[in-house]
């Protein structure tokens, strides 16, 4: 079955330090990978996606993600965390069905950035 896994329920980091939120995937064929963020009492917002090309993908709010095919990982990173980055982060993979697809999400990782 095609899936994504986020091994950490919560990540704690001090403001100004680099952050990493981990994601691994299991798909057949070439993966289409995504990161979404959910702020309190809000729906999810798209951060970035990897379809093909450079392994380092840049997205919104200074976030980037590194695709690693050999490790089947797609970790989310940011060089310097902000308190306002505190939120719930979801990794997702697109599963094809006919000529369309659906996104399958991981369990989510809560990022807590402390001042």
Partner 1 sequence: KAGVTQTPRYLIKTRGQQVTLSCSPISGHRSVSWYQQTPGQGLQFLFEYFSETQRNKGNFPGRFSGRQFSNSRSEMNVSTLELGDSALYLCASSPPGTANEKLFFGSGTQLSVL
| Maximum CA extent, the chain | 47
Residue 4 to residue 106: CA distance in whole angstroms = 5
Residue 12 to residue 46: CA distance in whole angstroms = 22
- Does residue number 51 form part of the binding site for partner 1 (CB under 8 A)? yes
Token output for 107: 């369990």
Near partner 1 by CB under 8 A: residue from 30, 45, 55, 68: 45
Residue 90 to residue 8: CA distance in whole angstroms = 11
Q: Which is nearer to partner 1, 15 or 105 (CB)?
A: 105
Near partner 1 by CB under 8 A: residue from 19, 74, 106, 113: 106
Near partner 1 by CB under 8 A: residue from 14, 18, 46, 60: 46
Please report, as ranges, the residues that interact with partner 1 according to CB under 8 A: 32, 34, 36, 41-46, 49, 51, 90, 94, 96-108
């Amino acid at each position: 079955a095609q899936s994504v896994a986020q091994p950490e329920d919560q990540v704690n980091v001090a403001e100004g330090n680099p952050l990493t939120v981990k994601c691994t995937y299991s798909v057949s064929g070439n993966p289409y990978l995504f990161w979404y963020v959910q702020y309190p009492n809000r729906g999810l917002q798209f951060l970035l996606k990897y379809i093909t090309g450079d392994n380092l993908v840049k997205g919104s709010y200074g976030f980037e993600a590194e695709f690693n095919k050999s490790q089947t990982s797609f970790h989310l990173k940011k060089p310097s965390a902000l308190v306002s980055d505190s939120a719930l982060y979801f990794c997702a993979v697109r599963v094809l069905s006919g000529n369309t697809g659906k996104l399958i999400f991981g369990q989510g990782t809560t990022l807590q950035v402390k001042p």
